[in-house]
A and B are shown apart, each in its own frame.
Chain A
Amino acid sequence: MNTTAAAPPVTTTAETAFRRPNYLNAAYGVRSWLLTRDHKRIAILYLISVTTFFAIGSLFALLIRLELLTPEGDLFQPDTYNRLFTMHGVVMVFFFLIPAIPAVLGNFLVPLMIGAKDLAFPKLNLASWYVYNLGGIFTLWAIIHGGVDTGWTFYTPFSTHYSNTYVIATALGIFINGFSTIFTGLNFIVTIHRMRAPGLTWFRLPLFIWATYATSVIIVLGTPVIAITLLLVAVEKTFHLGIFDPALGGDPVLFQHMFWFYSHPAVYIMILPAMGVESELIAAFARKRIVGYKVVAFASIAIAVLGFLVWGHHMFVAGESIYAATIFSVLSMLVAIPSAVKVFNWTATLYQGSISFQTPMLYALGFIGLFTLGGLTGVMVATLGFDVHVHDTYFVVAHFHYIMVGGTIMGYLGGLHYWWPKISGKLYPAFLSKLAALLVFVGFNLTFFPQFILGYLGMPRRYWSYPPEFQVLNVLSTAGASILGVGYLLPLCYFIWSMRYGKDSGDNPWGAVGLEWDTTSPPPTENFYTTPVVTHGPYEYNREEVHNRMSQEVTLG
């Protein structure tokens, strides 16, 4: 994008780049990090926290896959296994997938992309990180003391009257964590409304901002509902008030309604930001305006709105009225359409593009493939008669991992690889990072594709032991998970390595447009030397100024 001026100019050589003042060398010491109000430093804090929780959640996943290598339950006791899959779900959903892209990439990029100096409420932003960790500590405390075995869905009356594990501590951890998400969402909404640079109209916003905005709206409207629901579970368990337990006059299915009223939109909290990242990556590596910019932007809003109206599709066989099920089925089909449209738009953007195959682009292409399959199986399970058979089987497990892992984590990793030079000012090894992207894609498919077949064969989810005819597919799945694990470990290693040993990236190694690339890498604390003025939309590659900077491009490796 066009900025009025930038001093020092963005075309400094890599050599001098790091000596310039930036947010990383602005201050040193633990205190300067723990009390920072800089959105970029808070993003780094979040990066460390969510990576820790991702590692914990992955460890649980690894143990689950090891147990499922053999049909007999021979590695753990069944109640240990039940705790493992519960805590895998809790940690991954609430402490990784929901905060990952908004709190790390969103925090870092929202002010940069809209030409602002910081978020609207920097102290609230820092508070959100502390609240997140407080919630995390509650949950870790519960894990260390023996964990929780209700499944991440906490279905009543099992969670309220039959489980003797740490339900309340875990619920409290999620309850507290919800506030951190709300703080972040609120901050983004206000920032995007109030702090856009001069000339940056709504339809000149990058699509990542549109997606983040849609996500923030869901967060602010939906998160209180899960907080209320978990509070009611705690109240029922503590005071024996009949809310969800039929023995006390409550209704167990009411819990499912309340739980999914939040937790289905939560899926869109996870996937919408990844879609936003995807749009940025496709535009940058095809050097082309996203086809149907407004359609893609409004598709995010449509998904956010429709996403609130489909929760009942989790209860097709739970005793819900068949007429209600019909409505939820058709609405679930409708929410798939904006997602499908986005996929077509991204694909069409490649047409007549100038496509380069840097590491972030590999993740972006992988995202399209996995998200397409996840979305298609999503409309399959929205089909009523079909869902009756595959509900609560591995088919559903495979489907939502294609969306959450294949979609969200591919988007997250793609985004990290794309903006890493912006975050750190460093380059990571090209070959190794491409290898990691390939391992993630192959490992992912080997892990989760066999689970579609397992599910159609009828293997129920959350089974600690299973009939022997399911073994071959489970072995394939575990083998895939090992590859996937290596694929996830590699970026962790080379990102850390690059901070010390990586080559300086220069300001704009990809030759990309966007306000965040108009400043230095890493950016100064105040982001821009002068306030940028925007005169055109995002992704305008066919301009004179842009041509001049293309020659600056660095090829990794």
Chain B
Amino acid sequence: MRSSFPLFPDSASTHAGTVDAIFIIWSLVSIFFTALIAGLIVYFMARYRRRHSEEVGANEEVSVWLEIAWSVIPLAICLAMFVWGTRSFFDLYRPPADAVEYTAIGRQWMWKIQHPEGQREIDTLHVPVGQSIKMKLASEDVIHSFYIPAFRIKQDAVPGRYTSIWFRASKPGVYHLFCAEYCGAEHSRMIGSVIVMEPRDYQNWLAGGSAGKSMVASGGDLFQSLACVTCHRAGATGRLARGPALEGVFGSPVKLVDGRTVIADDNYVRESILNPTAKVVAGWDPVMPTFQGQVTEEQLSQLIAYVRSLGPIGSAPAGGTGGTPAGTTTADSPSAATTPQTAGPGAPQ
């Protein structure tokens, strides 16, 4: 139960302790320097109070060493805090290998959340304690920001690209979910709850809901119904091979017609569906039609989940594809998770 007048927020993720530690150390530093300055001012005010109207101050300069000290000490403190803060920041964008991916799509004015097993929720997020969860974020309209104060995490959901952040909940309970980036009239009502449960309870909750299909299965259905499969077919040769096979592509480097190599991450696959001619794989013609406007944000993430699930198969894809699935199939390389490489300017419709 929340206190009616809290002065310190709940801590419910493995990351929260680090942020709190930085906060407390910084606060102590701030209190020390504020007290030092205030103390000196009060002391000087009393000690050097003007006694008569013709009195003037002494023309003393302070020693050079004192000036160096009050430049170097703050600098050293700042740099130490910088290193600490940056380490904790990098951690936030490098999810552990066992992280499970959830999707949250922001729109005016709700969060649409989808679990890997297929459960969907609006403005509510159920998560099990102890599980690393990577939130993949997208927006259907304006910029939103996915903020869970009790976890000390926040990440903007930017239209036209994916961003992500991860957490591991550490304490069962009900916590706030806020939109932190101003997004229009009902911005302050774009709030919800994060319900952290024991793993067993979470499994019960999953079983109790009308789950429908998992992300991957839904993506597989879309892959058929949108006829992606006609061109992107494993092992196809000859006339049937109109596009590169996708098995094992996700997460590995792809060579493009213009000679560049990119990592086939969330943002690359997204762009290839919505704007296929932007980065064509070497050896293929730019014949794929755009699916802009035909797939929703949710369907996009299902399709991507499906593409990611296509592990490398024994038989290599048809010749001519530059994207040999030799690379790793890790869900996401750390840099790929945050590098905003799609949705650059240009490529007008």
Contacts and interface: CB of A to CB of B under 8 A. Distances in A.
A355 B159 contact: no
Contact of B185 (A79, A295, A321, A372): A79
A458 B147 contact: yes
A354 B55 CA distance: 6
Contact of B345 (A243, A320, A389): A243
Contacts of B161: 246, 319
Contact of B50 (A149, A344, A356): A356
Interface stretch (B3-11, B202-210, B219-227, B281-289): B3-11
Contact of A251 (B183, B343, B348): B343
Contacts of A246: 158-161, 343
Given A318-B156, A320-B340, A463-B188, A353 B44 contact: yes
Given A317-B155, A379-B78, A469-B3, A354 B182 contact: no
A547 interface: yes
Contacts of A541: 56-57, 59
B237 interface: no
Contacts of B89: 316, 322, 325-326, 329, 384-385, 388
Given A158-B184, A248-B348, A456-B9, A344 B55 contact: no
Contacts of A321: 338-340
A157 B159 CA distance: 8
Interface in B1-37: 2-9, 18-19, 22-23, 26, 29-30, 33-34, 37
Contact of A457 (B9, B57, B154): B9
A553 interface: yes
Given A252-B143, A252-B159, A379-B81, A460 B179 contact: yes
Interface string B111-150: 0000000000000000000000000000001110101011
Contacts of A63: none
Contacts of B141: 157, 162
B65 interface: no
A249 B347 contact: yes
Interface residues of B, number: 100
A462 B182 contact: yes
A376 interface: yes
Interface in A458-478: 458, 460-469, 472
Interface stretch (B66-74, B244-252, B309-317, B321-329): B66-74
B334 to A, nearest CB: 8
A347 B81 contact: no
Given A253-B340, A458-B149, A460-B147, A287 B188 contact: no
Contact of B154 (A334, A388, A456): A388
B59 A542 contact: yes
Contact of B57 (A247, A352, A467): A352
Interface string A123-156: 0000000000000000000000000010100010
Interface in B52-86: 53-62, 66-67, 70-71, 74-75, 78-79, 81-82, 84-86
Contacts of A79: 185
Interface in A193-231: none
B260 interface: no
A357 B51 CA distance: 12
Interface residues of A, number: 102
B53 A551 contact: yes
A457 B7 CA distance: 7
A469 B29 contact: no
Given A251-B343, A376-B33, A463-B188, A336 B74 contact: yes
Given A383-B82, A550-B56, A369 B50 contact: no
A377 B30 contact: yes
Contacts of B347: 249
Interface string A339-363: 0110110011011111111000000
Contacts of A336: 74, 78
A447 B60 CA distance: 39
A203 B343 CA distance: 51
A464 B187 CA distance: 8
A78 interface: yes
Contact of B143 (A73, A78, A155, A242): A155
B345 A388 contact: no
A355 B50 contact: yes
B48 A351 contact: yes
A380 interface: yes
A251 B26 CA distance: 35
Contact of A319 (B6, B158, B180): B158
A491 B86 CA distance: 45
Nearest to A392: B180
Interface in A297-349: 316-322, 325-326, 329-330, 333-334, 336-337, 340-341, 343-344, 347-348
B176 interface: yes
A73 B62 CA distance: 55
A122 interface: no
Nearest to B274: A246
A46 B81 CA distance: 43
A79 B108 CA distance: 14
A276 interface: no
B259 interface: no
A385 B48 contact: no
B62 A82 contact: no
A384 B34 contact: no
B93 interface: yes
A289 interface: yes
Contacts of A149: 184-185
Contact of A354 (B50, B156, B339): B50
A386 interface: yes
B198 interface: no
A288 B62 CA distance: 13
B145 A392 contact: yes
Contacts of A291: 61-62
A354 B48 contact: yes
B97 interface: no
| Nearest 9 CB-CB pairings of A with B | A458-B149, A246-B160, A288-B57, A385-B88, A383-B85, A384-B89, A353-B57, A350-B44, A463-B188
Given A317-B156, A382-B82, 20 more contacts: A73-B188, A78-B188, A78-B189, A149-B184, A158-B182, A243-B345, A249-B349, A287-B57, A321-B339, A337-B74, A353-B57, A353-B58, A354-B57, A365-B41, A372-B37, A383-B82, A384-B86, A386-B19, A387-B85, A463-B187
15 contacts: A82-B184, A158-B142, A242-B348, A242-B349, A288-B57, A333-B82, A351-B48, A354-B57, A369-B37, A373-B34, A384-B82, A386-B22, A386-B26, A386-B88, A469-B3
